[in-house]
Amino acid sequence: MQIMNVGILGAGAMGAGIAQVAASAGHDVILCDKNKNALTKASEKLQKILNRLVVKERIDDPTAKAIFGRIHFIENMTAFENCNLIIEAIIEDLNIKKSVFQALEQIVADDCIIASNTSSLSITAIASACDHPSRVLGIHFFNPAALMKLVEIIPAVQTDQKIVLQSRELIENWGKLTVLAKDTPGFIVNRVARPFYGEALRIAEEQIADYATIDWAMTELGGFRMGPFTLMDYIGNDVNYKVTCSVWEAFYYDPRYKPSFLQKEKVDAKFLGRKSGKGYYDYSADNINPEPNRDEDLGHQILERIVVMLINEAADAVYLKIATPEDVDLAMTKGVNYPKGLLAWANLIGIGECVELLDELHDYYKEDRYRCSPLLRDMEAAEKMFF
């Protein structure tokens, strides 16, 4: 099926970004939001983005006008009537999403694919609200959608395999790299990335190092584009905390995903990061944030501890058949710009060394949080490597 008409529900940053991607690929796009102000803001922002692309000579002026002309800003979902694909990008609330998907089914044709851009909620649970759950799946873009190459494709238990293949091919035709993820909390990226924040918070809570030093270790020694505290402030501490809680609850309160009191403290104080002017750092104009402690021994200890926890999570994702090793590493390098694939990194460190580091943490803390993935143990015993 040639998908020509694409509907995007939700005119926030993600919805508008996905609309830009689809329109740039030649589709007529209906961007729908019941909030007229949100539509106006999305329209203005998209015009600015396209104009900037013209100035940078990424596209010419006629192309920019054509892309914008293919996007229709609509307040009522009934406009989705002739769409072949709908991508929902609204608030992360399961009950609201279920209600919306039920309403969409009354509007669209029986062969219309209905997808959610959720980053952590169960696609199977969303699909369960539908009369035709076989055409429901997750299509998870990363922010900003126009720039980030990765898209996670997440089938529900009920999803028809033909819909999965068709959707994946379509998104790849939009110029994206896709990875296939099992429908489990956080999928690939938001699950595997939890220790980047969680272990950094733990190190800070233990006063092993301050925020600036941890960020310095991860960027200067580890090659990450942003340190965990800078990144949490950029994302928004309320958003990051909500995803952390969602993943923790969805995994039946597994201690590996337990939220931090430090995180909650920042949210309760409304220290939400850049958007509030203060988070882990102070962003007021006259403030000078503290310099890191550039002790390389300390820095390497911090880097080693966080990276081995990330590797453990990536290995468990493979062990539990969430995704293939290739898709896990592709997801982390293209979805969150990690300097290396985590499983490739495990090869460099040595599987046995990873197991030893995790066992040392587990022996010291006596917490299930630091349990080593069975896959790493099996690989060490068999003297195997990833890839």
Residues 103-108: contacts with CB within 8 Å, 24+ apart?
Answer: 103/77, 104/9, 104/77, 104/80, 105/130, 105/131, 105/132, 107/77, 107/78, 107/80, 107/81, 108/7, 108/80, 108/81, 108/83
Amino acid occupying residue 175: G
Written in H, E and C, the secondary structure of 193-205 is CHHHHHHHHHHHH
Q: Is 37 a catalytic residue?
A: no
**How far apart (Å, rounded) are the C-alpha atoms in residues 375 and 387?**
14
Specify the pLDDT at position 4.
86
Catalytic residue among 5, 24, 119, 122: 119
Specify the pLDDT at position 68.
98
19-76 pLDDT, tens per residue? 999 999 999 999 999 999 999 999 999 999 999 999 999 999 999 999 999 999 999 9
**How far apart (Å, rounded) are the C-alpha atoms in residues 268 and 237?**
10
Pairing of strands 136-141, 150-155: antiparallel
Q: Is 132 a catalytic residue?
A: no
Q: Is 119 a catalytic residue?
A: yes
Specify the pLDDT at position 201.
98
Amino acid occupying residue 371: R
**Mean pLDDT of the chain, nearest integer:** 96
214-244 pLDDT, tens per residue? 999 999 999 999 999 999 999 899 989 988 9
**How far apart (Å, rounded) are the C-alpha atoms in residues 41 and 174?**
24
Q: Could you tell me the residue ranges of all domains in the chain?
A: 5-180, 191-382
Residues 219-226: contacts with CB within 8 Å, 24+ apart?
Answer: 220/294, 220/299, 221/296, 221/299, 221/300, 221/303, 222/303, 222/306, 222/307, 222/339, 223/339, 223/340, 224/337, 224/338, 224/339, 225/337, 225/339
Residues 33-36: contacts with CB within 8 Å, 24+ apart?
Answer: 33/9, 33/75, 34/75, 34/76, 35/11, 36/75
Specify the pLDDT at position 279.
97
Specify the pLDDT at position 143.
87
Catalytic residue among 27, 116, 140, 373: 140
Amino acid occupying residue 6: V
Task: Write the CB contacts of 221 (distance below 8 Å, at least 6 apart in sequence).
Answer: 296, 299, 300, 303
Specify the pLDDT at position 243.
85
Asked if residue 24 lies in contact with residue 2, where contact means CB atoms within 8 angstroms, the answer is no
**Taking the model in full, what pTM does it have?**
0.92
Indicate if the pLDDT at residue 264 is higher than 80: yes
**How far apart (Å, rounded) are the C-alpha atoms in residues 365 and 367?**
5
- In a 13 Å sphere around the CA of 178, the CA atoms on its Cβ side amount to 20
Specify the pLDDT at position 274.
94
**How far apart (Å, rounded) are the C-alpha atoms in residues 165 and 171?**
10
**How far apart (Å, rounded) are the C-alpha atoms in residues 330 and 282?**
34
Specify the pLDDT at position 1.
53
To the nearest whole percent, how much of the chain has pLDDT over 70? 99
Query: How are strands ordered across the β-sheet holding 113-116?
Result: 71-74, 28-32, 5-9, 85-88, 113-116, 136-141, 150-155, 177-180
Indicate if the pLDDT at residue 171 is higher than 70: yes
Grouping H, G, I as helix, E, B as strand and the rest as coil, residue 215 is helix
Q: What are phi and psi of 262, to 5 degrees?
A: -65, -40
Q: Is 152 a catalytic residue?
A: yes
Reading the block at residue 254, the tokens are: 């597994």
Q: CA torsion sign, 7 to 9 to 14 to 20?
A: positive
94-153 pLDDT, tens per residue? 999 999 999 999 999 999 999 999 988 999 999 999 999 999 999 999 989 999 999 999
Fold (CATH) for 191-382? N-(1-d-carboxylethyl)-l-norvaline Dehydrogenase; domain 2 (1.10.1040)
Band the pLDDT of 3: cuts 50, 70, 90: confident
Domains 5-180 and 191-382 share a fold: no
Asked if residue 328 lies in contact with residue 336, where contact means CB atoms within 8 angstroms, the answer is no
Specify the pLDDT at position 318.
98
Reading the block at residue 182, the tokens are: 């099992």
CATH of 5-180, one of 3.40.50.720, 3.40.50.1970, 3.30.390.50, 3.90.420.10: 3.40.50.720
At what angle are helices 194-205 and 228-235 packed, to 10 degrees? 110
Catalytic residue among 24, 190, 312, 373: 190
Specify the pLDDT at position 286.
87
Indicate if the pLDDT at residue 324 is higher than 80: yes
Helices in 211-341 by DSSP H: which ranges? 211-216, 228-235, 237-250, 261-268, 296-319, 325-335
Question: Who wins on pLDDT, 90 or 250?
Answer: 90
**Residue range 194-200: average pLDDT?**
97
Reading the block at residue 146, the tokens are: 């126009």
Specify the pLDDT at position 194.
95
